[in-house]
Amino acid sequence: MVEEMNRFLSSKKIIRTREKLVKNGSDGMFWSFTIRYIDDINTPERERLQQKVDYKTLLSDEEFSRFSVMRVIRKRVAGEDGVPPYAVFTDWELSELSKSDNLTMETMRKIKGIGEKKLEKYGQFFLQQAMDEKAQ
């Protein structure tokens, strides 16, 4: 069963996974997994995910300025961690963060896509870098 699931998952583009421990009455508990994936490489969903967004037109001048600074910080953080920039924060996440005048861990926590693991790994460092950039 596990081999079959692994074979299936390795043939898909995984978008999101969620797991939940479910209590089954008196029978005990079990893990439930939800996996969102793209089956066909040419699906509209895949094309939508790959479209380039011009954030300069979507954000105010002030927000775009913060967004641009955050992209530089993200690139620095990603380089130090040896991961691609989108693994730190996506452009969409940065655009949402740039809409806040006062960036905090709580503000970051409210952005869809920024979970506890990302906050734990990049949150404090990113906030410190943003404050350093703001002070200059």
Pick 72 or 38 by higher pLDDT: 72
CATH code where residue 105 lies: 1.10.150.80
Tens-place pLDDT, residues 54-73: 888 889 999 999 899 889 99
Shared domain check, 66 and 117: yes
Confidence of residue 1 (pLDDT cuts 50, 70, 90): low
pLDDT at 136: 64
Shared domain check, 71 and 19: no
Closest CA to 14 of 33, 45, 37, 48: 37
Distance set, CA 77 to CA 20, 113, 127 (Å): 31, 18, 11
pTM > 0.75: yes or no = no
Shared domain check, 76 and 112: yes
Residues of the domain holding 35: 2-49
Eight-state DSSP code of residue 27 = G
Shared domain check, 63 and 119: yes
Count of structural domains within the chain: 2
